[in-house]
Structure 1
Amino acid sequence: MALQDIVIIGSGGLARQIVGLVEDINDNRATYNLLGFISKDPQDEIDGVPVLGDDDRLASLRAGYVLGVEDPALRRLLAARAEDNGLNPVSLVHPTARVDRRSRPGPGAVIFEGANVVYGARTGWHIIMNLGSIASHDCVIGDFVELTSNATVGARVQVGDDVMMGMSSVILNDLSVGSGATIGAGAVVTRNVEPGECVVGVPARPLRKAARQGGSDDR
């Protein structure tokens, strides 16, 4: 069976972590041919993976793509560029992750070791679920959301687009989190979170409310 050609857009820490994810998937069942990184990095290769060039190279490729950057605004921009050039998103699921057959991860999902997408959970495009994270039953998670290691979205929770959940943070059942919100590491969310809010602590309290600005261009 022919392997599917893919590229990783970005070359920072997340992108390099995705290389290991692809390798683990292929060790379990040969599936993907990783062509390299799409990146402005001047190196010819990183950890043995070729750097193919910046976004201008997308037009010449016939491959699937995976987003390897974390900032939601930049992820949206890069996804649009890739798709404008005819590339389609690829979802990557680690062999040790559990994705219930009645759940619906969206296109471009990146799901790492030990993550759990439970019965009836639905996610939008390009979600990142890092090590040990959980999307509980019947939750709905928007586009370009990141659950960092051991973050948990409770049952029937509604999470908007572009939300960032810090390590070991928890959103309790039946709550909603507005688009662009940030949940600090270790926070326990016990009430609804407004769009753009940053909440921290146990129980989680607002730290600020402001639209996130574009982060570092980790490409």
Structure 2
Amino acid sequence: MRQLVILGAGELARQIAGLVEDINENTETCTLVGVLDRNADAASAALPVLGGDELLARLDAEYVLGVGAPELRRRVGEKADRLGATAASLVHPLARIGRGATVGPGALLLEGTHVLYGATVGRHVLVNVNSIIGHDSRVGDHVTLATSATVGARATIGDEVMLGMGAIVMNDAKVGDRSVVGAGAVVTRDVPPDTCVAGVPARPLPTR
């Protein structure tokens, strides 16, 4: 049976605990050992905090990222990899992965998500409830899709991108690395790297 630890003890950790329960509902395949977080006060009520992430090297367990911000997912994941740990991918029983689609290590696909045929999902991608990744699209590493976000067919999402709740990236559009698409925004044209867009159609927000 797979042994799992969650890196980070915030709200996402509780969501992951529920995901594991749902995965185990029919056949028990993995066990949550606990949470690694330097801030013990941030502990989820349902899960013990074992200590800091430095303990990961001594545990015989795979890890999942319990942090949602893309940059933080990258930093925490890279540190875990340097410690020699293995990233676990978790897929909810009610998520769907199409024929020919690939999902990278450490990805989390929550309830009601769909990854359509031919899509590529990178490392440590968080696909939140009821989000859709269209056919033949590419989603880079350390990307977070909030609830009900949609990536259109053949779209390209760069690394460390944040798609807000209900955001839509239309077919064939590209979103550059480290960009943010606001909640409810509709991306109809390419978004450069390091850009925050919002609205319908999505437009860059002024920088300060």
| TM-score, normalised relative to structure 2 | 0.96
- Matches of 1:60 and 1:27, distance apart in 2: 29
Alignment of 1:34-183 (within 5 A): 34-43=32-41, 46-183=44-181
Q: Deviations over 1:104-146 (max 9, x none)?
A: 0111110000000000000110000000000000000100001
Q: Deviations over 1:25-53 (max 9, x none)?
A: 01132111110001123259632311110
Contact 2:69 2:144 in 1 (8 A): no
Matched residue type, 1:129: V
Matched residue SS, 2:50 = strand
Contact 2:164 2:182 in 1 (8 A): yes
Matched residue type, 2:117: Y
Matched residue type, 1:194: P
Q: Which segments of 5 or more consecutive residues in structure 2 lack a partner in the other structure?
A: none
- Matches of 1:110 and 1:46, distance apart in 2: 19
Q: Please, which of 6, 10, 13 is the counterpart of residue 12 of structure 1?
A: 10
Deviation at 1:59, TM superposition (A): 2.1
Matched residue SS, 1:126 = coil
Deviation at 1:15, TM superposition (A): 1.4
Over 3 Å counting, the alpha-carbon distance change for 1:43 and 1:99 in structure 2 is same
Matched residue SS, 1:194 = coil
Over 3 Å counting, the alpha-carbon distance change for 1:52 and 1:203 in structure 2 is same
Aligned alpha-carbon RMSD (Å): 1.5
Matched residue type, 1:172: M
Over 3 Å counting, the alpha-carbon distance change for 1:50 and 1:81 in structure 2 is same
Deviation at 1:71, TM superposition (A): 2.0
Over 3 Å counting, the alpha-carbon distance change for 1:147 and 1:194 in structure 2 is same
* Superposition misfits of 4+ residues, deviation over 6 angstroms: none
Matched residue SS, 2:39 = coil
Q: Which segments of 5 or more consecutive residues in structure 1 lack a partner in the other structure?
A: 211-219
Matched residue SS, 1:74 = helix
| TM-score, normalised relative to structure 1 | 0.91
- Matches of 2:190 and 2:43, distance apart in 1: 45
Q: Percent identical across equivalent pairs?
A: 50
Map of 1:216 onto structure 2: none
